[in-house]
Chains A and B, each alone.
Chain A
Amino acid sequence: MAIGQQRVSVVAVTMTALAAQYPSVAADLQAAGLTAAEEDRDRAAILRVGLTHMVDAVAGPVAPASVLGQNLVFRQTHDQAFKALGATGMWRTP
């Protein structure tokens, strides 16, 4: 995935595969109002904006009008919501 202008590799669980294997995971997704594909996509977006926010200038300039630029603004104005999400442990495991 891209962080700013730098390409990085993030090895992460594919929720689509896991939900297909475990009905309880599919139920967790349903209870949250997400499809597995949406979870994979949204998690990648949240990670991308989080990493870009974290490393800032190292990543290179981000166009303000881009999706990442808009998400960065959202990240900066919703810090508590991101902390609550991180507190679930999603960035440590699996």
Chain B
Amino acid sequence: MLRFPVPHVALATMFAAFGGLSSVGTAVLPAAGNAPRVDRRPPVRGTIVADSTLPDTALLVSVPRLSVRPRAMATGTRTVQAGVQLLDSLRQTLVYVPPQCVGTHRCPLVVVLGGAAIRSREMVNPGRVLAYRSPFADQYGMILLAPDAIAAPGIWDVLDGLSDGTTEGSRTPLGMRVTQFRDADVRNIDAALKQVLRQFAIDPDKIAVEGFSNGGSYALFLGRNNPQVFSRIAAVSPTFPMEVDDPPHTTTQLFISGGIAEGPSIMQMWLRIATLLRHEGHQVEMVPGLRGHVDYRLDKDYEWGWLAQSWASPKSHDTGRVAPGAAADPILTVELLTKMTTFWTRFMQEPDSVLNTGRHSRWPSASSGCRSWP
């Protein structure tokens, strides 16, 4: 189990804010607190712990686990129709079925979660989320489930975010302040998963949850709390580190990515999460992206390729550690940096057609012959 230091003052603040959640679980506070206990379900602790630079944003909550059991509930034996389908008109839950998944073949299922926007539902709009990801579903033959965020306007229920007063859209994720946890999305996704397993031919051993930004945080949160459901978790630019009481296991494989241009504190945060998960024994693909807090389509190529490949040929245990000094790097000099600066200044003035080719050649393909760096 991961544990991050939680400033005491933050716990106190959180605890005051947390008082409203009582019907589904147990708020658990360390010995210093007097936690309310309403044990209607087995308590599962989950903590959203802010970085030390965020002294007022820690949240310690109880999160109900999903009750869906894929192996027992995957009773759907035939997928009838391709395309976008409305699963639940009330909650705007959508499903996307690629053509190759029509029929009796059991396909993998990916729960896809969009990023948050404080004042808009647009970022998590299921239609938008599906439109962005359906090409990957087509490419890899995966059915997508896109729930809407119903706990709060435009965000998943691990956050009830308050703006810190900076401009919406340009704010870093660190501008969010956690005030409250709700469980409406957990319940909604639980119900949606059960319905999908009844209506579509799903491989119960190949269910993943993936998301960007707040959706990435929620994917980590939901996925790690429910290893019996999700065998893969992909979190792109997760905004908050989270502590969960996931049962001891190393079966879930994770993909965690952050943008280099998101800044050192974000990089440290997600690399710390990924490193600690590796220490726990999980296989974790750590991917620093050459980007800011943006969900680049071409970066998603790598993410979805990993998803397909990790299911197709699961690796044996891999700690992700490398031998020191393995790289054959040059000694950096002022002259070397000057040459690189000169080159990149010129190169960035190349027309978009060249730059776009460069972007497309980042991921290995038959046409580009390009590769990821070893």
User: Does B33 lie at the interface of the complex (its beta carbon under 8 Å from any beta carbon of A)?
Assistant: no
Q: Which residues of A contact B357 (CB under 8 A)?
A: 18, 21-22
Q: Decide: A25 near B268, CB < 8 A? Known: A5-B324, A13-B359.
A: no
**Residue in chain B with minimal CB distance to A75:** B332
Pair A32/B329 contact, Cβ less than 8 Å: no
**Residue B350 interfacial (CB < 8 Å):** yes
Nearest CB in chain B: distance from A24 CB, A = 6
Can you offer 13 A-B residue contacts whose CB atoms are under 8 A? A9-B286, A9-B287, A10-B373, A12-B373, A13-B362, A56-B268, A58-B271, A58-B275, A67-B330, A68-B329, A70-B331, A81-B338, A93-B359
B268 touches A44 (CB 8 A): no
B372 within 8 A of A: yes
Contact yes or no, A1 B327, CB < 8 A: yes
Using A94-B358, A94-B362 as known contacts, say yes or no to A45 and B330 having CB atoms under 8 A apart: yes
Known contacts being A31-B342, A67-B327, is A92 close to B287, with CB within 8 Å?
no
List of A residues within 8 angstroms of B291 by Cβ: 92-93
Contact among B302, B325, B369 for A11, CB-based, below 8 A = B302
CB of B132 within 8 A of chain A?
A: no
Do A71 and B354 have beta carbons less than 8 Å apart? no
Query: Assuming the A-B contacts A7-B322, A58-B268, A85-B344, are A12 and B354 also in contact, with contact meaning beta carbons closer than 8 angstroms in the complex?
Result: no
Interchain CB contact (< 8 A) of A45 among B260, B332, B338, B344:
B332
- B-binding residues in A (CB < 8 A): 1-14, 17-18, 21-22, 24-25, 28-29, 31-34, 39, 41-51, 54-56, 58-60, 62-63, 66-68, 70-71, 74-75, 78, 81-82, 84-85, 88-94
- Is the beta-carbon distance between B260 and A6 smaller than 8 angstroms? no
Does B56 touch A at the CB level, under 8 Å?
Answer: no
Does B264 sit at the interface, judged by CB under 8 A?
Answer: yes
* Residue from B271, B272, B357 having most chain A Cβ neighbours under 10 A: B271
Q: Whose C-beta in chain B lies nearest to the C-beta of A61?
A: B324
B326 within 8 A of A: yes
Number of B interface residues in the complex (CB < 8 A): 63
Most B CB atoms within 10 A — which of A12, A70, A84? A12
Shortest beta-carbon distance, B310 to chain A, in Å? 12
B237 to chain A, nearest CB (A): 14
By a CB distance below 8 angstroms, the chain B residues around A8 are 286-288
Query: What residues of B have a CB within 8 angstroms of the CB of A92 in the complex?
Result: 261, 290-292
Most buried by B among A43, A54, A59: A54
Q: Does B320 contact A (CB under 8 A)?
A: yes
Residues of A within 8 A of B347 (CB): 25, 28, 88
B348 within 8 A of A: yes
The residue on B at minimum CB distance from A87 is B341
Considering the complex, give the chain B residue whose CB is closest to the CB of A62.
B324
- Whose C-beta in chain B lies nearest to the C-beta of A67? B329
Residues from chain A with Cβ under 8 Å of B289 in the complex? 10-11
Structural contact, A17 and B368, CB atoms closer than 8 A? yes
- Kindly list chain A residues whose C-beta atoms are within 8 Å of the C-beta of B330: 41-42, 45, 67
The verdict on A44 contacting B372 (CB below 8 Å), with A13-B361, A51-B260, A59-B271 known, is no
B205 is an interface residue with CB less than 8 A from chain A: no
What distance in Å separates the Cβ of A1 from its nearest Cβ neighbour in chain B?
5
Contact between chains at A71 and B331 (CB < 8 Å):
yes
Point out the residues of chain A lying under 8 angstroms from B272, CB to CB. 58
